[in-house]
């Protein structure tokens, strides 16, 4: 009877040395270093939000404090209407995301299936718009907001956010609609579905990963946007979280409230982190399924 003995990588080599699996050792180490590099700023803000003021201003720097406090978070809600800021950001972000999906989904379906006249020119124009820096639209949007008297109005943010996210929404959803088999649509037409019913009841449920991915990207942009929210909204009760966090003041003119700013940053980032973690599987499906045409 012959017994095959498996040779492991740590057995002596013919030259007398030991083969060390460097790839298995270095790869996890490299991943850990990259994760630490990416998460270090967020971890620093999180720790700062729980530090007492003495540790924040201490020299040498206290990286890992031994004393923790919730006063910075309490101060946000006592001195400022921070719940109102959260509501403002959520209202603007959710509304603009819903409008972008509601307008972008039919437009993407029309470009993918109905083949309108000049569709390639329209698609090229949409692609160019996605590459156009949004900040260059600032002066034109400011004139429009002033002429329409939309200053200190939620529409001053909802309309620009929706318009700026529409190109990305159309491009992502179009790639998904194109990879769906046409037999489903033909069968739906035989059953008496019109184009709107087919899109609403058959196509969109099948492209849920794309809708979730596009919706989250749109939501993140609207939630984090700063320049337009800073300029178009000046009323205190209508400010969004990025503007409110940037305008936090200390007890005196020369004091920088690092603790409350860090707490506001954590509170402003937490909904996005929870959103991505909750929909992470749909996001991965949405980013990968549209890349390869099956």
Q: What are the start-end ranges of the H helices in 199-257? A: 204-206, 208-224, 227-232, 241-246
CATH number of 73-289: 1.10.3720.10
Predicted pLDDT at 287: 61
The whole-model pTM stands at 0.81
Q: What is the mean pLDDT of each run of 10 residues along the chain (294 residues)?
A: 47 58 82 89 89 84 84 87 92 94 89 78 83 81 88 91 90 84 80 80 82 89 91 90 83 70 90 84 64 48
pLDDT in the model for residue 255: 67
Token representation of residue 270: 């937490």
Evaluate whether 213 touches 283 at the Cβ level (below 8 Å). Answer: yes
3-state secondary structure 29-55: HHHHHHHHHHHHHHHHHHHHHHECHHH
Neighbours of 124 (CB within 10 A): 11
| C-beta of residue 244 within 8 angstroms of C-beta of residue 264 | yes
The DSSP letter of residue 55 is: H
Residue-range domain boundaries for the chain:
22-69, 73-289
Q: Say what the pLDDT of residue 1 is.
A: 47
Per-residue pLDDT, 184: 78
């Amino acid at each position: 009877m012959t017994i095959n003995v498996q040779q492991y990588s740590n057995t002596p080599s013919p030259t007398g040395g030991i083969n060390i699996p460097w790839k298995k050792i270095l790869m996890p180490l490299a991943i850990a270093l990259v994760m630490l590099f990416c998460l270090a700023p967020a971890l620093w803000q999180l720790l700062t939000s729980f530090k007492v003021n003495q540790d924040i201003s201490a020299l040498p720097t206290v990286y890992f404090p031994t004393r923790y406090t919730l006063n910075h978070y309490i101060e946000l809600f006592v001195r400022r209407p921070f719940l109102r800021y959260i509501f403002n950001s959520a209202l603007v972000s959710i509304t603009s995301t819903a409008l972008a999906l509601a307008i972008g989904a039919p437009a993407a379906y029309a470009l993918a299936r109905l083949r309108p006249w000049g569709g390639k020119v329209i698609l090229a124009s949409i692609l160019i718009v996605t590459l156009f820096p949004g900040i260059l639209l600032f002066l034109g949007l400011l004139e429009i907001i002033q002429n329409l008297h939309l200053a200190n109005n939620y529409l001053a943010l909802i309309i620009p956010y929706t318009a700026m996210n529409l190109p990305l929404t159309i491009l992502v959803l179009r790639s998904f609609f194109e990879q769906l088999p046409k037999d489903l649509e033909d069968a739906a037409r035989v059953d008496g579905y019109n184009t709107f019913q087919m899109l609403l009841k058959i196509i969109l449920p099948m492209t849920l990963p794309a809708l979730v991915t596009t919706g989250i990207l749109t939501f993140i942009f609207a939630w984090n946007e700063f320049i337009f929210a800073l300029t178009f909204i000046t009323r205190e009760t209508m400010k969004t979280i990025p503007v409110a966090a940037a305008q936090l003041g200390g007890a005196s003119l020369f004091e920088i409230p690092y603790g409350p700013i860090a707490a506001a940053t954590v509170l402003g980032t937490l909904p996005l982190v929870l959103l991505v973690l909750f929909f992470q599987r749909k996001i991965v499906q949405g980013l990968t399924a549209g890349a390869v045409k099956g």
